[in-house]
Amino acid sequence: MLTDTPILEIDAVSKRFVTELDIAERTARLLGSKVEPLTVHAVDGVRLSVRKGEVLGLVGESGCGKSTLGRMVAGLMPPSEGQIRFRGRDVAALRGAEAREAALKIQMVFQDPMSSLNPRLRVDEIVGEAPRVHGIVSRREQDGYVDDLLNRVGLDPTTRKRYPHQFSGGQRARIGIARALAVKPDFIVCDESVAALDVSIQAQILNLFMRLREELDLTYLFISHDLGVVEHISDRIAVMYLGRLVELGAAEDVLRRPNHPYTQALVAEIPTFETKKKAFNPIKGEIPSPLKPPTGCHFHPRCPHAHQRCIVERPALKEIAPGRLSACHLNDEARAAA
């Protein structure tokens, strides 16, 4: 059930990766050249809260930091700065049993089930191992528990002695979902969970996610590079560009009346049903290197409305209407002129 209570708060979270120098660069450095390791600011001061029961779609082009943010939410890596709170508690500060419980409550479903499912394990082990190890079921109960989960995700329980390669892509996606559900999570980070699937299978898996949300009272952070995928299932949509959040609002508002010029370009390029398979290349101009992001507004080299202020000043993410945020100087200027 969708509520106003935040279940997850992402509070000014940043993640920086320092790239290792290769052998040539290390040698050049030893010889006196000024070669420094480069820092990627993969996530840059993101603030976002997810309400219990909602589906928050997180979109943006490749490399904008979606997976990095998702991994931090799932506790797979700590933020460089800022705090991620689950039910009001800083996840990185939890220890012992509390840390283990939080790790189970937030699960991640990945893009490519073939590489995230162990090819040497049978389905009953893939799905049943974690709940047994964590004491959610006994060894005696495990078979029945796995059968219930397989039924729930639309798989025939008689297939539980098979290996991942004996299933289709859509069925493997269902196995990945059953594995995530097996530890009774409250929150699921779906990272490009349907990206590898054909369009008709994508729709079936999206429907499954929505049914499971209702049945199990789940909350989703639904990550996709494709606005067309998140548009039908999200309550709200967050748009990222080169590590920063640039727009946030109710899904319908963001799609019907995108405010940020980057979101406007994404919306203009949502592939139609016929062209769904075309490469997602929404906006003119290259995505700038995250190693050397543009000054001011990161979007300025590609923005049709860019002006002098955009080159020098980072636009703050501001409320432009109730529940609606955007980071573009044009909003200040429109307000000042009104």
Binding site for ligand ATP (CB under 6 A): 17, 40, 42, 60, 62-68, 225, 290
Would you count residue 243 as binding ligand SF4 (CB under 6 A)? no
- 10 pairs with which residues across the strands? 48, 84
- Within 1-121, strands assigned E span 6-18, 39-51, 55-59, 81-86, 89-90, 106-109
Q: How far is CA 57 from the centre of its chain?
A: 8
Inter-residue contact 230 to 57 (CB < 8 Å)? yes
- Nearer to ligand ATP by Cβ, of 95 and 292: the residue is 292
Show the tokens assigned to 125: 């082990």
Inter-residue contact 192 to 198 (CB < 8 Å)? no
* Region from 19-27, 67-75, 127-135, 180-188 binding Mg ion, contact rule CB under 5 A: 67-75
- Nearer to ligand ATP by Cβ, of 8 and 123: the residue is 8
Would you count residue 108 as binding ligand SF4 (CB under 6 A)? no
Total chain residues near ligand SF4 (CB under 6 A): 13
* Region from 64-72, 144-152, 213-221, 231-239 binding Mg ion, contact rule CB under 5 A: 64-72
- Nearer to ligand SF4 by Cβ, of 150 and 310: the residue is 310
Contacting residue, 7, 259, 299, 325, with ligand SF4 by CB under 6 A: 299
Considering the complex, what minimum distance in angstroms separates the CB of residue 318 from ligand SF4? Answer: 11
Considering the complex, what minimum distance in angstroms separates the CB of residue 66 from Mg ion? Answer: 5
Would you count residue 330 as binding ligand SF4 (CB under 6 A)? yes
x-marked contacts with ligand SF4 along 252-291 as a string, rule CB under 6 A: --------xx------------------------------
For 311, other C-beta atoms within 10 Å of its C-beta total 13
Show the tokens assigned to 77: 């890596």
Inter-residue contact 15 to 80 (CB < 8 Å)? yes
CA distances from 245 to 49, 104, 216, 299 (A): 12, 27, 29, 12
Residue 261 interacting partner from ligand SF4, Mg ion, ligand ATP, none (CB closer than 5 to 8 Å by kind): ligand SF4
Q: How far is CA 180 from the centre of its chain?
A: 15
Would you count residue 329 as binding ligand SF4 (CB under 6 A)? yes
In a 3-state reduction of DSSP, which class is residue 45?
strand
Residue 194 is given by DSSP the state T
End-to-end CA distance of the chain: give it in Å, rounded. Answer: 40
Considering the complex, what minimum distance in angstroms separates the CB of residue 110 from Mg ion? Answer: 9
Show the tokens assigned to 81: 């700065």
Q: How much is the CA Rg of the chain, to the nearest whole Å?
A: 22
* Region from 6-14, 37-45, 62-70, 126-134 binding Mg ion, contact rule CB under 5 A: 62-70
Contacting residue, 46, 48, 54, 67, with Mg ion by CB under 5 A: 67
* Region from 30-38, 192-200, 278-286, 322-330 binding ligand SF4, contact rule CB under 6 A: 322-330
- Nearer to ligand SF4 by Cβ, of 310 and 325: the residue is 310
Q: What is d(CA 284, CA 306) in angstroms, rounded to the nearest whole number?
A: 14
Amino acid at 254: V
Contacting residue, 255, 259, 300, 317, with ligand SF4 by CB under 6 A: 300
Q: How far is CA 209 from the centre of its chain?
A: 15
Would you count residue 297 as binding ligand SF4 (CB under 6 A)? yes
Q: What is d(CA 80, CA 86) in angstroms, rounded to the nearest whole number?
A: 18
- Chain residues in the site for Mg ion (CB under 5 A): 67
- Chain residues in the site for ligand SF4 (CB under 6 A): 260-261, 297, 299-300, 303, 305-306, 310, 315, 328-330
